[in-house]
Every structure is written in structure tokens, then in C-alpha cells.
Structure 1
């Protein structure tokens, strides 16, 4: 069972990340994660971006350089700390995130449309049960049925 779930997750991740690769400019998974982080939080700085994406500060700086060069983010003086810079999503960056979200929705919808109503209901119930079990006591013990 765990192997089948791992295969399904791998397929879902591939579908999810391919949305960032089909836009212009093409975005890597880290770039997309960074762009979403900047778009999702006001007053985000480079250190917080590094923590959010899970990379070292120098790598986050280079990542931000590339996003800024592509016109997707901008660095501006922080409104409450004149020694710090704040990362902001540009209008182009916002449009790109919207496009990626729409592509993801279309891709997921196409897969779901290929499933029968009974399969979609079973998937929905299984995902809910998985989420609930994950948050129950003893979850994550490594036991496999």
C-alpha cells in the first residue's frame, strides 16, 4: 500500500511541478516555491525566504537574483527596518503564479475527468481518511499494512 501511495504522490508531484516548467519564463521547483512564498507573505526578507524554501542564505540570494532578473520579484527597502530589504511580487510575477495555478487546475481536472464518479468518490474519501489518520495519535510510526 505504501508503495502504491508513493507512486501516486510521485505522479502528482510530476504533474504539479510541470506546470512551472510550461510557462515563460520557465521555473524550477525551487523558483516556483520561492515565488509562491513571496506572493503569499508581505514583508518577506531574504532570510525568511531561505527558511521557507529550505535552502542556505547564499543560494536564496542567487535564487532571488534570478527571479528579480526575470522581472518576477523586486527587492525594496523594508518599511520598518531601513537596514533590511523586503521581497515583493511584481505584477508579472503575480500573473505567472495565476497562470501556473490555472494550469495545475486544468491538469488535475483532466486526470479526475478520466476517473469514474465512483473512483473520484473513493479518492476523496481515501484522502480525507489519510489526512485524518495523519493527525491522529500514533501516526507516522512507520507501520505499513
Structure 2
């Protein structure tokens, strides 16, 4: 049977799962927005995404950051300028190539990422705690399968530390406000 051909019952299942995932994604977006509320006067969601990239990668070239965020280098440069003005990032010469400049977080930038991530983790944990243990296990299995089907690497504690936003890092690509 071709991928586009499904038995009648499968279409209903796909529609039900799609609706459930869309609802869950709205909840996760709301959690993300609430976790940024305390810093939103200083940092937009796209700027926070840049902070997360710099947090996980360390000192990085602007063009690399732009590629990872799927934005034009000029957009990334405007975001960097705003983060530098806010005291959250700095430019530094590349010790291996003096013609290049690297971007890195300041200590305040690192604390911002840690604070927002901790707030997000706590709110998600509070939601998960409301589930029965069997529901938690089923959720882990379902999300692992969903992530695998979408081409994501399995979540690990180290991976969560390197990318504290998980899938939310890829949201709102290219939107600098």
C-alpha cells in the first residue's frame, strides 16, 4: 500500500493524533512564552533562541549562528547587536583566525538562559506530575517515536542541557522583533 493510501480507520487515527499534537504544541508554546515573561522586556523569543545556540555551542561565528537559526546573516547581526546592547553577548576575535569574530554569551547571558530554562522545566514538570505513572511512560514512548519519525535524536540529559529548549529552538525561525 502506498504511503498516501491508508485504510479508512487509519485516517481517523491520524487526524486524532494530529489534533492532539497540535493542542500539545499550543500548550508548550504557552509554557515557553510564560518562561520568557520575566525577561521579555530585554529579550525576544528569536533573540532567546540565539542565546540558547550560543549557550550550547560556546563561541561561534555569526554565519554559523545564522545558519543554525535559519536566518539571513544580516538578521543575525541585528539580533547580536541587540544582545550586545543588553549585555547578554559579546564579540571577540577568533584566536585561530584574526580576521574572524566570534560571538559568545556574557555571564548575564548564561544566567538568562539558565533561569528561563529552569522556569520552563519546572512548569513542564508540574504538568507531567499530574499524569498517572502509566500515562507518563506512554507519553515518553509516544514522544520518542514522534521525535524519531521527525528525524530528531533521542533526548538525553546531556542533550537537554545542550539544547534546553528542545524542539522550541526551531520555532519562530527568522523572526526578530
TM-score of the aligned structures, taking structure 2 as reference length: 0.69
Q: Match of 1:71?
A: 87
Distance 1:27 1:109, change over 3 A: same
> Deviations along 1:93-135, whole A, 9 cap, x unmatched?
1111111111011111111122222322221222233334445
What residue number does 1:111 align with? Answer: 127
Q: 2:99 aligns with which of 61, 80, 83?
A: 83
Q: Distance in 1 between matches of 2:80 and 2:149?
A: 38
Q: Which of the numbers 133, 142, 145 marks the counterpart of 1:129?
A: 145
Q: CA RMSD in A?
A: 1.8
* Distance apart, 1:50 and its partner CA: 1.0
Higher mean C-alpha displacement, 11-20 vs 69-78 = 11-20
- CA–CA distance in 1 between the matches of 2:84 and 2:148? 40
Q: Secondary structure at the match of 1:55?
A: coil
CA–CA distance in structure 1, aligned partners of residues 61 and 34 of structure 2: 27
Contact 2:80 2:89 in 1 (8 A): yes
Match of 1:142 in 2: none
Q: Is the 8 A contact 2:42 2:86 kept in 1?
A: no
Aligned pair 1:5/2:17, yes or no?
no
| Structure-1-length-normalised TM-score | 0.82
Matched pairs, number: 135
Larger RCO, structures 1/2 (Cα 8 Å, 6+ apart): 2
Listed one character per residue, the Cα deviations across residues 66-117 of structure 1 (whole Å, up to 9, x for unaligned) are 1001111000111111111110110111111111111011111111122222
Give the gaps of 5 or more residues in structure 2: 1-16, 152-177
Per-residue deviation, 1:49? 1.2
Aligned to 1:39: 55
